[in-house]
Amino acid sequence: MAIRNIRKMGDEVLRKPSKEIKEMTSRTMLLIEDMFDTMYEAYGVGLAAPQVGILKRLVVIDTYEGQPLVLINPKIVEKDGEQIGDEGCLSLPGKVAVVKRPNHVVCEALDRDMNPIRVEGEGLLARAICHELDHLDGVLYPDVAEEPVRDVEEEEE
């Protein structure tokens, strides 16, 4: 396992669409483990493969409310409700903006064994799923924010 370099806003890989994963390989399994290590090292709750420079439809999420999730080729199939709040990103360290997201989502994906799964999320998990899936299509939260991005330090003063 290794800590990978998290790509920052401005890196063109973050703006490219990701490709579907057709089969599980030892390289993809290693990528999953590295992504969890990288996310935990950076104190994140989610990480998408493009954030570590890999254009694959793969995200890992751990909101510390249940089991850590591996979502391969994920798609949101249902969403409802609304939540509005600050959102940050490991690719924009020290920054936040107000983003409107659904409060409830249902996501269909494959797990690390390439078995179909259905994940239902509310609150933070719904926000994390939406945020990470946006990365797979080259979308960053400032693109969908309700207001301009601001420094976290401004809030603490």
Q: How far is CA 47 from the centre of its chain?
A: 4
Q: Which CATH architecture has domain 12-156?
A: Alpha-Beta Complex (3.90)
pLDDT at 156 over 70: no
pLDDT, tens digit, 9 for 90 and up, residues 39-96 = 999 999 999 999 999 999 999 999 998 899 999 999 999 999 999 999 999 999 999 9
Where do the H-state alpha helices sit in the chain?
26-41, 124-136, 141-144, 152-156
Beta strands at 58-61 and 46-48: parallel, antiparallel or unpaired: antiparallel
The annotation status of 107 as a binding-site residue, yes or no, is no
- Among the options 65, 132, 147, 157, which is catalytic? 132
Domain ranges of the chain: 12-156
Residue 132 annotated to the active site = yes
The annotation status of 131 as a binding-site residue, yes or no, is yes
Q: What is the pTM of this model?
A: 0.95
The annotation status of 104 as a binding-site residue, yes or no, is no
Confidence band (pLDDT; 50, 70, 90) for 1? confident
